[in-house]
Amino acid sequence: SLLLTPFTYSLSASLDNVRNLSMILKTVHFRKYATCFATKNGIKVTVKNTKCVQANAFIQAGIFQEFKVQEESVTFQIHLTVLLDCLCIFGSSPMCYQGYGYPLMLFLEEGGVVAVCKINKQEPETQDFDFCSTNVIKIILQSEGLHEPYFRLSTFVNAGSSHLDCPKDSDLMEAFHCNQTQVNSYKISLLKSSTKALVLSCKLSIWTDNQGFLSLQQISFVEYYCCPDEEVPESES
């Protein structure tokens, strides 16, 4: 095995086919760098756009043919664009990370020749999104309905406005919990990147807290957080 002894690396993983891994990573690939947080349960890949959007892609350990984490947790930041390019080239290769100060390594063996790709890691950023406030709205629905929302999506442009309503008793809804009426506005440009994960998911869980922070958990499993835009005037509510 190219992974040598399992005690050599803090993190070691291998896949026969990286297509599913690449597809999940591409759903959060809207910035160059990503922070990886690995435990025995799998890897969480986090990408942030300033302080407005945070996306988390959850890659379960069961996806891999081999997955070992020798420490309680391993955290590092990686150039996501470079990693995706290398995965396309190395295809079905083992991936190893020796620990702090070492690069992430991908191995490819063909005809007895071993090629090694080393990707330098960065210092991980602090994850400072706070979504611990009282949740006032929780909705779980089939993703295909948004490939249609008592829950309304509205957009306003110079030419007019568009509203999409979804009754809470429709077949689309699996759960609907709302303690009070709440209206928040979000920039479409911030939400646009979350649609990449929508096509891979079977369910969508939507949460907002009393500050207007939005959480979109797309159960394949990709999660987006989005800060609210300015307050919506009551005339538009």
d(CA 20, CA 224): 19
- Please tell me the predicted confidence (pLDDT) of residue 202: 77
Domains 6-122 and 135-236 share a fold: yes
- Please tell me the predicted confidence (pLDDT) of residue 145: 61
Query: 135-236 has which fold?
Result: Proliferating Cell Nuclear Antigen (3.70.10)
Whose tokens are 């979504």? That residue is 131
Whose tokens are 């969480």? That residue is 44
Instruction: Let me know the angle formed at the C-alpha of 18 by 16 and 21, rounded to the nearest 5 degrees.
Output: 130
- Please tell me the predicted confidence (pLDDT) of residue 4: 47
Every domain of the chain and the residues it spans = 6-122, 135-236
Instruction: Let me know the angle formed at the C-alpha of 204 by 188 and 215, rounded to the nearest 5 degrees.
Output: 55
Please give the C-alpha separations between residue 210 and each of 53, 168, 214, in angstroms, as whole numbers: 17, 20, 10
The 3-class secondary structure across 65-95, one letter per residue, is CEEEECCCCEEEEEEHHHHHHHHHHHCCCEE
Spans of the chain, pLDDT less than 70: 1-7, 91-93, 109-111, 125-136, 144-153, 157, 159-160, 163-164, 166, 220-221, 230-237
Contact 74, 38 (CB under 8 A): yes
- Please tell me the predicted confidence (pLDDT) of residue 144: 67
- Please tell me the predicted confidence (pLDDT) of residue 150: 44
- Please tell me the predicted confidence (pLDDT) of residue 235: 54
Query: How many CA atoms lie within 13 Å of 32's alpha carbon, on the beta-carbon side?
Result: 4
Q: Return the CATH class of domain 6-122.
A: alpha beta
